[in-house]
Amino acid sequence: MSAICLDISDLSAVLPNGQRVLRSVSLAVQPGEVRALVGESGAGKTMIGKAVLGVLPSSVRVVAGDIRLEGEDLGKLPPKARRTLIGARTALIPQDPLTALNPSRRIGSQMTDRLVRILGWNGQKADTRIRQLLDEVQIRDPERVLKSYPHELSGGMRQRVLIAAAFAAEPRLIVADEPTTALDVTVQKQILRLIVQLQREHGTAILFVTHDLGVVAKISQKVSVLYAGKVVEEADTAALFAAPQHPYTRALMAATPRYTDPFASLKPVDEAVLAGLASEIAAADQAWKRPHG
């Protein structure tokens, strides 16, 4: 099947006060591809992920555009069918592995439950599958982990569990929302490597949200640069790093510290660049207002 895995086109979402948080976002992820979504805090990266997964906050309303998951227009499906489709084809690797696990349920039951209840597997098959995935994320003592409560594991272990859970149901698309930000620096690299490894083996497409260009360079094939809910640049990762087109992208790159010399190139984004962005956003909003009243 050659359908685009995820196809977001012209997606706009507003807050109750009418302010747009997503400004005509278009973004496509091919099957098996890693698409990085990069931008500073508040740019709307998480919002895009939530829109795809169907869990936007109730205060945020999608007013235009559509999201297609393997060709199915999510907005046109009845709610129940949409939930089932999203549940079967997508998964989330969250930012905070502690709150993403239910504190009062054992890891094992949380992980198998989903396969049993959503995909209708029998308990035996689900259990085998979960153990296989725990092995893939290099958890050495699955017996103990399955019996543990989330607070009994370290942050890194919890994130491994969540990665295993995300891949267990063989989703076509995984949204990874800053999956390493809440972790120790030492653990971050391992987790990143695991995600890439499982992604390759399973051929899963990933929408990878981050604000770290270093991570973008390492793991993604394509990048979208987001600013104030607007995609300001989109390119192949290699091309973007070789020749960034948009001034904001260039400024972001300049602001990213190198590993060798973390403090040398830490610069704030240039005033002129920000002013340029502001007028670009204003023009986009003007253009959008005309047909949308």
Partner 1 sequence: MDEGRTPRRGISPRLWLAGGWLMLALLAAIFAPLVAPQDPLAQDLMLERLPPFWMNGAEPGYWLGTDSLGRDLLSRLIFGGRIAFIVAFAAAIAACMVGSTLGLVAGYFGGWADRIISRIVDVWMAFPPVLFAILLVAVLGTGLSSVILAIAIIDWTRFCRVIRAETMGQSRMDYVENARIAGYGRIGIMLREVLPNVVPSIVALLSLEMGIAVIVEAILSFVNLSISTDDPTWGGIIAEGRLSIHQAWWVLVFPLITLILTVLSFSQFGEALKTRFDPVLR
In this structure, are residues 206 and 35 in contact, taking their beta carbons and an 8 Å threshold? yes
Cβ atoms within 10 Å of 183's Cβ, excluding its own: 21
Q: Which of 9, 30, 46, 245 binds ligand ATP (CB under 6 A)?
A: 46
Instruction: Identify which of residues 60 and 255 has a Cβ nearer to partner 1 in the complex.
Output: 60
Instruction: Identify which of residues 39 and 142 has a Cβ nearer to ligand ATP in the complex.
Output: 39
Q: Is 100 in the site for partner 1 (CB under 8 A)?
A: yes
Q: How far apart are CA 219 and CA 197, in angstroms?
A: 10
The one segment of 45-53, 71-79, 136-144, 163-171 that binds ligand ATP by CB under 6 A:
45-53
Three-state DSSP class for residue 28: strand
Instruction: Identify which of residues 46 and 148 has a Cβ nearer to Mg ion in the complex.
Output: 46
Instruction: Identify which of residues 51 and 74 has a Cβ nearer to ligand ATP in the complex.
Output: 51
Place of tokens 């295993």: 164
Q: Which of residues 18-57 bind partner 1 (CB under 8 A)?
A: 53-55
Instruction: Note the helical H segments in the chain.
Output: 45-53, 79-89, 107-119, 123-136, 142-147, 155-168, 185-202, 213-219, 237-242, 247-255, 271-292
Q: Is 189 in the site for partner 1 (CB under 8 A)?
A: no
- The binding track of 208-247 with respect to ligand ATP, each residue x by CB under 6 A or -, is ---x------------------------------------
CA distances from 115 to 82, 111, 167, 170 (A): 18, 7, 11, 10
The one segment of 17-25, 32-40, 102-110, 233-241 that binds partner 1 by CB under 8 A:
102-110
For 167-191, the DSSP string reads: HHT--SEEEEESTTTTS-HHHHHHH
Hey, what are 96's tokens?
């905070």
Give first-to-last CA distance, the chain, whole Å.
39
Instruction: Identify which of residues 40 and 66 has a Cβ nearer to Mg ion in the complex.
Output: 40
Q: Which of 16, 78, 103, 262 binds partner 1 (CB under 8 A)?
A: 103
* Residue 53 binding target from Mg ion, ligand ATP, partner 1, none, CB below 5 to 8 Å by type: partner 1
Q: Is 118 in the site for partner 1 (CB under 8 A)?
A: yes
Question: Which residues make up the interface to ligand ATP (CB under 6 A)?
Answer: 15, 21, 39, 41-47, 57, 59-60, 211
